[in-house]
Amino acid sequence: MTETTRSPVAAFPTWPEEARRRYRELGYWTDETFAEFVADRCARFADNVAVVGLDAHGRETRWTYADLAVAAEQAAARVATAGVAPGDRVVVALPNIAEFVAVVFGLFRLGALPIFALPTHREVELTQFCVTADAAAMVVATDDLAELHAVVADRVREQGIEPPVLVDIRGWGDSLRHGHGAPRVRPAGRAEEDIAFLQLSGGTTGTAKLIPRTAADYLYSVRESAAICGLTEESALLVVLPAAHNFPMSSPGILGVLHGGGRVVLAPDPSPRTAFALIARERVTDASLVPPLAQAWVSAARRRTPDLSSLRTIQVGGSKLADSVAAEIGPVLGARLQQVFGMAEGLVNYTRLDDPDELVLTTQGRPISPDDEILIVDEDDNPVPDGAEGSLLTRGPYTIRGYYRPGDPGGGPNRDSFTADGFYRTGDRVRRLPTGHLVVTGRDKDQINRAGEKVATDEIEGLVLAHPDVLDAVAVGLPDPYLGESICLVVRTEPGRPRPDDLVDRLAAAGLASYKLPDRVEFLDAFPETHVGKNSRRELRQLLTQQLRPADDQR
């Protein structure tokens, strides 16, 4: 055993005492921890099927809750054998495989904190997670990430931090479910108001923002989400999006289903072909999609007439769903649409299953909790008149009060993203209807939402500006009928000098996740400026949308 000695979990900006007492009195916060959640649901629903999907070796897997308990215990034991101790942070970068659930539940059991990375993250992102959180291990199941570990380890070491150990779960073989292998570890758990895991923010800056969530706050949102979405033991949720993302994890997601005794069906890829086959075979009742996938399902279903008769509800969220696509979901897929507007920082809005069609088709829902405080403000933080558009600020029983920033809890993004009285600045522009439903109308934040994947513009710009021939660079999101927004990189170079044609390749070589790579690159001799002389993103976007040739995929 290579025992690591990591820094303790850092203090984090938490809710004031009065709010915590109130959330407990109202029953929103209970004393259930994640370790108890795992033990309780696995025992209560022991004979139900919990997880269906492929494993790390591509074999069909079907685990009952009892099997899942054994697999989680084994995963905990194996991660502990690799040197991970309770309180350690662990980067989980797994595809949608059965072991994903076992590893996450195992880490909860061990009292270690998962950092929910995506399998598409590369060394830029993974290094940031490891450095910010002093991660003890990186859990992977694919060749590319196993190979990347060495690069990440070097980069982490360069910053004076002990690199994470590599845990490649393919080496675990198929014995997880059979409960032999590593010696058992005692469940350690963490207190319900301690940080249980770190989610990721799509972010607006080049540095990753880690989101500290507790069992008390998160499980409240999970229980309510399961109720709002009508999940029961009969529910079967198809997980098409990356499982670690906050939406498929909790809205109502994997945890909502496992809370209620239902079945999680993991899709190994997001294609309609794969999804439709699983829906028919597993009698799937619910699926969570981003708008481009919803659109792809609609057009594929028109061509193929698959058997979708078991489908009850399709949750769509992550980016704005066009009203025209919303209108097609019911008629073509034969399921009720439920719009979801959420964020890993907390606040989640749903249209309700019994809402009138008008609201379901044209709004992004209303908050989970009566105690979700919604403020819609102008640029001076003054409330706008009822029904007017403004910037959304929120505070409540499951919305964080600050990002995880060891050593600097009050600084940087926590100053910018939270008001003095604890409201989270979502960066979204919304309008509120008299029913309380929100309509997302736009965004203040310097972020591109490409098919639900959030990209901070300055992360791309910062890397491009390092190129010797680039004088200035701005990344803008351009309207795209399929992606919602595509990424356009606009570059200014020295007039008369050759224009670099390798910018996208360089970004990839720098180790940026592929979903952040520009869809196209344009060169301009001058950038439009705001009155204070900054580059005007708004005017650039207008210029590009109107004047340039229609987007053609340069990838």
What letter does residue 444 receive in the DSSP assignment?
A: -
Q: For ligand AMP, give the closer residue by CB, 4 or 449.
A: 449
Annotate 459-498 with b (16+ C-beta within 10 A) or e (fewer).
bbbebbeebeebeebbbbbbebeebbbbbbbbbbbeeeee
Task: Determine the Cα–Cα distance for residues 201 and 210; give it in Å rounded to an integer.
Answer: 6
Judged by CB under 6 A, does residue 355 bind ligand AMP?
no
Binding residues for ligand AMP restricted to 283-322, rule: CB under 6 A: 317-320
Task: Determine the Cα–Cα distance for residues 487 and 474; give it in Å rounded to an integer.
Answer: 10
- Report yes or no: 92 and 117 within 8 Å, Cβ to Cβ: yes
- Report yes or no: 203 and 456 within 8 Å, Cβ to Cβ: yes
Interface map 196-235 toward ligand AMP (x if CB under 6 A): -----xx---------------------------------
SS3 258: helix
Binding residues for ligand DBH restricted to 183-202, rule: CB under 6 A: none
Task: Determine the Cα–Cα distance for residues 549 and 377; give it in Å rounded to an integer.
Answer: 37
3-state secondary structure 106-136: HHHHHCCEEEECCCCCCHHHHHHHHHHHCCC
Judged by CB under 6 A, does residue 428 bind ligand AMP?
yes
In Å, how far are 39, 68, 95, 103, 265 from 46, measured between CA atoms? Answer: 10, 9, 25, 18, 17
**Residue 6 Cβ vs ligand DBH, minimum distance, rounded to whole Å:** 27
Binding test (CB under 6 A) with ligand DBH, winner from 103, 240, 255, 348: 348
- Report yes or no: 103 and 168 within 8 Å, Cβ to Cβ: no
Binding residues for ligand AMP restricted to 456-485, rule: CB under 6 A: none
Q: For ligand DBH, give the closer residue by CB, 318 or 511.
A: 318
SS3 299: helix
Stretch of residues binding ligand DBH (CB under 6 A), selected from 160-168, 341-349, 379-387, 489-497:
341-349
Where do the H-state alpha helices sit in 363-489?
Answer: 413-417, 457-465
Q: For ligand DBH, give the closer residue by CB, 250 or 394.
A: 250
List the single partner that 285 binds among ligand DBH, ligand AMP, none, CB under 5 to 8 Å by kind. none
Judged by CB under 6 A, does residue 426 bind ligand AMP?
yes
Task: Determine the Cα–Cα distance for residues 479 and 521; give it in Å rounded to an integer.
Answer: 15
List the single partner that 348 binds among ligand DBH, ligand AMP, none, CB under 5 to 8 Å by kind. ligand DBH
Binding residues for ligand DBH restricted to 250-279, rule: CB under 6 A: 250-251
Judged by CB under 6 A, does residue 475 bind ligand DBH?
no
Binding residues for ligand DBH restricted to 441-470, rule: CB under 6 A: 452
Judged by CB under 6 A, does residue 285 bind ligand DBH?
no
Binding test (CB under 6 A) with ligand AMP, winner from 440, 456, 488, 521: 440
**Residue keyed to tokens 């897997």:** 61
Of all residues in this chain, which one has the CB nearest to ligand AMP in the complex?
A: 202
Binding residues for ligand AMP restricted to 315-344, rule: CB under 6 A: 317-320, 339-344
In Å, how far are 123, 137, 160, 253, 363 from 4, measured between CA atoms? Answer: 22, 9, 15, 33, 49
Stretch of residues binding ligand DBH (CB under 6 A), selected from 101-109, 242-250, 263-271, 421-429:
242-250
Binding test (CB under 6 A) with ligand AMP, winner from 67, 134, 224, 345: 345
In Å, how far are 230, 251, 352, 431, 439 from 435, measured between CA atoms? Answer: 21, 21, 12, 11, 11
Binding test (CB under 6 A) with ligand DBH, winner from 132, 246, 313, 414: 246
List the single partner that 112 binds among ligand AMP, ligand DBH, none, CB under 5 to 8 Å by kind. none
**Residue 247 Cβ vs ligand DBH, minimum distance, rounded to whole Å:** 4
- Report yes or no: 82 and 88 within 8 Å, Cβ to Cβ: no
Binding residues for ligand AMP restricted to 359-398, rule: CB under 6 A: 364
**Residue 353 Cβ vs ligand DBH, minimum distance, rounded to whole Å:** 16
Give the HSE-up count for residue 425: Cα atoms under 13 Å, Cβ half-sphere: 22
Binding test (CB under 6 A) with ligand DBH, winner from 77, 196, 200, 340: 340
Task: Determine the Cα–Cα distance for residues 98 and 266; give it in Å rounded to an integer.
Answer: 7
Token pair belonging to 434: 């008299």
SS3 349: strand
**Residue 340 Cβ vs ligand DBH, minimum distance, rounded to whole Å:** 4
Q: How many residues bind ligand DBH (CB under 6 A)?
A: 12
Q: How many residues bind ligand AMP (CB under 6 A)?
A: 21
Stretch of residues binding ligand DBH (CB under 6 A), selected from 118-126, 243-251, 434-442, 495-503:
243-251
**Residue 248 Cβ vs ligand AMP, minimum distance, rounded to whole Å:** 12
Judged by CB under 6 A, does residue 427 bind ligand DBH?
no
**Residue keyed to tokens 């939402």:** 449
Judged by CB under 6 A, does residue 343 bind ligand DBH?
yes
End-to-end distance of the chain based on CA atoms, in angstroms? 45
CA dihedral (424, 425, 426, 429) positive or negative: positive
Provide the binding-site residues for ligand DBH, judged by CB under 6 A. Answer: 246-247, 250-251, 317-318, 340, 342-344, 348, 452
**Binding footprint of ligand AMP on the chain (CB under 6 A):** 201-202, 246, 317-320, 339-345, 364, 426, 428, 440, 443, 449, 454
